[in-house]
Chain A
Amino acid sequence: MAQGVRTMSEIVLFKNIQKNGPELFPAGAAAIPACGYDDYVKNGGYQGARKALKMAPLEVQQVVKDSGLRGRGGAGFPTGMKWSFVPMDFKGQKYLICNCDEMEPGTFKDRALVYGDPHQLIESMIIAAYAMQMTQGFIFIRCEYRKGARILEQAAAEALNHGWLGKNIQSSGFDFHLDVHLSAGRYICGEETALLNSLEGKRANPRSKPPFPQVYGFLGSPTIVNNVETLCNLPHILARGAQWHKSLGLNGNAGTKIMGASGRVKNPGLWELPLGTPMREVLNEHAGGPSRGKSFKTVIPGGLSTPMMTPDQFDTPLDFDSVAKAGSRLGTACLIAFDEDDCMVAATANIMKFYMRESCGFCTPCREGIPWIYETVKAIAEGKGEEGDLAVLDDMARHIFHTFCAFAPGAQGPLLSAITTFRHEFEFLIQKSQCHTAGGAS
């Protein structure tokens, strides 16, 4: 067994899910029964929140700061520090928002948490809300997760019945109201400021920062937007302490991370592993290695919006800093694997189609540049490439970095690495009008 695999006791986020079902995704997530209130409490649920409500809000913030928890929404921003920007002396309503938009391709970790263990998320939100004295919360959930929204609503009703939501929760004097908002369904709605606009009933265009949501967020009030997975760590941190959480990761990283794999792997799935687990271990031991008996050609580590990594980089530990040092980003740590027979030009066309479709249309390089990139890559993939196409791709790949939000730089990640690392595939197709893999296409 490789060093990364831990005993069950440290698998905290998935504990209830694993107890309730033999596998995470037996035949589709719909098959997993959500863990109900009684089971949740039996397994130690709501202990973290109970503890938090007895502490001072700033003490709770301090525990989170000390735990070294970093955001799991993709950017890895230290959660405790983010919380500390909320002006605690603000007189009006402050808001806590859970980001469950999860439209990052290849990423389905938040879904597992919501569908499998909704009370864990609710307890998490109570802790975060109490720490920042936010009396209204929203769970902003992707519209394809309609069933998840229903599961959450049901769990919230149970929590309300048991005095964990609403007025004066558990006689602590603290009020917390929680609403589930089903998104209309756009990738950009996951970007936190576009999310806020969307929640306000406006067009889902991002806002310029500063001001940051912590100060000027939902309806202009201080607001914290945290990812589902980020939040779900809180009950365990509160229950077992900051030091315990810190000790979970490898090489000085704090906590566990839900890692995933999809694409050309034998066993696509999700695993809760120590932050810092090497990519090779995830690919080979958990995901069972390449699916078609071929060797891996490349892996996109963080969902789709991160640069591709090649087999010589597979020993990179999957943590924020190590992956950044290797020239990519950890992102959601949900790996997308490609093997030798995959045509990277066709794959790039497919990738760019996603970004073209999902652009919010606010700023020029993203709105105009990405469709042009897509058309160009598609033409090359179809054997209709022309001389000069690569120059266009080179120009535009650099160009789309300077946009209004991080969406287009996300698109740049896979694009720039594809036209650099697999340039020969593009050149071959332009010259020969057919793929060098001869017949392989993703």
Chain B
Amino acid sequence: MKKIVCADNYVGFLCAVHAYFTGGNGTNSGHENESGTPNGNTRALANVEKTIVNEKHDRNFLDEYVFAPEDVETARTVRRGLENKGGKEFYCDFADGYRSGNPNKEEILLNYLKLFTKHGRAAFSMYDRAEVVAFGDIVRKVRGEAHLLCGFVRFMETASGVYYGFFSADNDILEILTRDFVHRFNAQSFVLHDYKRQKIAVWDGQSLEYLPVESGVEIELSDCERVFQSIWKQYHKNVSIKERANPRLQRQFCPKKYRHFMHEF
């Protein structure tokens, strides 16, 4: 089987998609199809069996591997093509699907694209097809986790007045969360730290920046921070009705894996 190897980032993946559907094999950057998108007429479905794998995947001796080089322009072309053919909502779903922590996300996204290539927009509602179910699952997981963490992330006030929050998540949702927090804390400077993926988002009330962080972040808390944390903990405890204690239900909605960054636990 021919495996198109993509870099471990979204641009790299889109370039591999381009190579897959245009027949580009990585030796050129693949501009031959102007629309840059899958459609039924390309050389895409030529007889050779192909797939896309992440560069981090283990390789074997049997398959043929070709690297699809990263190229922002090619990625943009693919994006435009997907938006034009599938609509903005489809593209958003697709892009959010790539944020998934599922190790097979490249394959799942590719399979969905193949179905789309064949059936056009009708593919979106083929809810009984395995490709659609798998795609729906990863997108829902990404968005579901982002929605949960949008409530679960805790910020702390630092001595400098900037708020700092950290989290770790199964999916790469820093950007989704930051979008939400910029909206909600528009007038408040904050730093949001995804420590599993070692990157931070910095919002200073005007502009936004994403930065990699190699090591831990040192912060000095403001004087009143501890007071608020203690009132919050007490509130969390008191508002529960003792007679109806139900830790199983609590776990179901607030999984333990997130609790280490929630001050009340």
Tell whether A pairs with B.
no
